[in-house]
């Protein structure tokens, strides 16, 4: 299960757009959306977390990967939101 925090997902239309974006990337994926918490949970079949994040970004949203409670990695590889951008 891969969880994303998507703070700019604010209504049912956003949720359906995100569902379509995930399905376009991984047609057999299972998706659970919690609008109130702005969370998207995906149980992928063929896509990985990066592909799913790319799909959500491409749909116009800002997904932030949420690590599950069992493994709290202190430092994630790759970029984060803290740095200034161009």
Q: Binding string, 7-46, against Cu ion, x = CB under 5 A?
A: ---xx-xx--------------------------------
Other beta carbons less than 10 A from residue 19's beta carbon:
16
Least separation, in Å, of the C-beta of 39 and Cu ion? 15
Does residue 42 contact residue 52 with C-beta atoms inside 8 Å?
A: yes
The token pair that represents 61 in the structure block: 């949203």
> Binding of Cu ion at residue 1 (CB under 5 A)?
no
Site residues for Cu ion per CB under 5 A: 10-11, 13-14
């Amino acid at each position: 299960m891969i969880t994303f925090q998507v703070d700019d997902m604010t209504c049912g239309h956003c949720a359906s757009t995100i569902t379509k974006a995930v399905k376009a990337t991984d047609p057999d994926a299972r998706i659970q959306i919690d609008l109130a918490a702005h969370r998207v949970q995906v149980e992928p079949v063929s896509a990985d977390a990066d592909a799913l994040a790319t799909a959500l970004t491409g749909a116009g949203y800002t997904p932030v990967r949420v690590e599950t409670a069992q493994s709290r990695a202190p430092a994630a590889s790759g970029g984060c939101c803290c740095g200034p951008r161009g």
